[in-house]
Structure 1
């Protein structure tokens, strides 16, 4: 592969992965509910569900990080953990979903021309590469503590590079993702 083609491929990959680093959170809620009436919360068992249910993805450390991040974000929104032995206004269920995705990148050498013989015109060849990557989704469901119905749900995706990350980087990524997910709570 020529140097200009490598540069074009590298630029394409950088733009692709940069654009995919974080996605806007997607939220939905029951508009008939009075969200101002919800004051306490508790985690629903199991706290974190995994899709796929794969031992390479399932981790007590991931669950601890998500628990901590959700607790911090709910606290910032004025919700408090339900006192022991009492029913919470909201039950919190979290999901960690990992999908395999692919992106095709097509690169072409730049159009050179002029003095040394190339012509201005169509490229000589194109190269297509397939990039495999993982996307992790954090989804948070809030269920009414009295009737068990889903009242609010949101999720956010990010490129899963946890294999290359250390514990602090994993914690930061989860904290940021949970903050993105809960940024639309309470609904306006």
Structure 2
């Protein structure tokens, strides 16, 4: 019987850990995306775009790989939406930034155990004492990525739209940054007003 009680407690702990892992995996599967725009702007007036001269992801005077990945993804998404890339005199200027931060979170997971104390004589007999409920506290360390994309009216030098994505980075994202950038940019631009609106 003692083996049976121990087995039940072990199964409960395993089940709790499994559920926690599934919840974490679900939370990290898709970033949170939001956008904002100037209320007096009609996006039908814009047909061309280019990038600002010094992008926020460039460091020490040279273009980083992160910049190249995001430029390729943004150019692809805007072109697919009917905008045309030009080298000079664009109607829209694009700027973007990305950031990866380490975060820690303390999570409390309810557990059940049997505390015998004075009632130690009950151990190994046909019945168990009353369960004691407590919480296991776990600290989880993870990386969070944030990406901002700004669209600026080039003639007025005014921000007209911004899209933001924030989410937990998976190992796959860190190992395949080009693909991660493309997925994130596509999600952000789902909130861009189309030229027909």
For the residue of structure 2 that corresponds to 1:47, the secondary structure is coil
Q: Which runs of 5+ in 2 are unaligned?
A: 1-8, 115-125
Q: Deviation above 4 Å: which 4+ runs of structure 1?
A: 162-165
The answer as to 2:122 corresponding to 1:101 is no
Question: Take 1:147 and 1:71, find their aligned partners in 2: how far apart are those partners?
Answer: 22
- Structure with the higher fraction of residues in helix conformation: 2
Partner of 1:76: 80
- The two structures, once aligned, show a CA RMSD in angstroms of 3.0
The answer as to 2:195 corresponding to 1:176 is no
Question: Which residue of the other structure, out of 8, 20, 23, is the alignment partner of 2:16?
Answer: 8
Question: Take 1:163 and 1:21, find their aligned partners in 2: how far apart are those partners?
Answer: 11
Q: How far apart are 1:136 and its partner, in Å?
A: 0.5
The answer as to 2:146 corresponding to 1:159 is no
Question: Take 1:152 and 1:104, find their aligned partners in 2: how far apart are those partners?
Answer: 36
Give the number of equivalent residue pairs: 176
State TM-score, norm by structure 2.
0.76
Question: Which residue of the other structure, out of 135, 146, 160, is the alignment partner of 1:126?
Answer: 135
The structure having more radius of gyration, on CA atoms, is 2
Which range moves more in the overlay, 92-101 or 174-183? 92-101
Question: Take 2:91 and 2:63, find their aligned partners in 1: how far apart are those partners?
Answer: 28
Q: Which runs of 5+ in 1 are unaligned?
A: none
CA deviation profile, 1:132-170 (whole Å, cap 9, x unmatched): 21110111000001011000001112222358743xx32
Say whether the 8 Å CA contact 2:57–2:64 is kept in structure 1: no
Partner of 1:89: 91
Say whether the 8 Å CA contact 2:50–2:94 is kept in structure 1: yes
Partner of 2:120: none
Question: Which residue of the other structure, out of 58, 65, 68, is the alignment partner of 2:69?
Answer: 65
State TM-score, norm by structure 1.
0.80
Question: Take 1:45 and 1:33, find their aligned partners in 2: how far apart are those partners?
Answer: 24
Question: Take 2:36 and 2:101, find their aligned partners in 1: how far apart are those partners?
Answer: 21
Partner of 2:156: 147
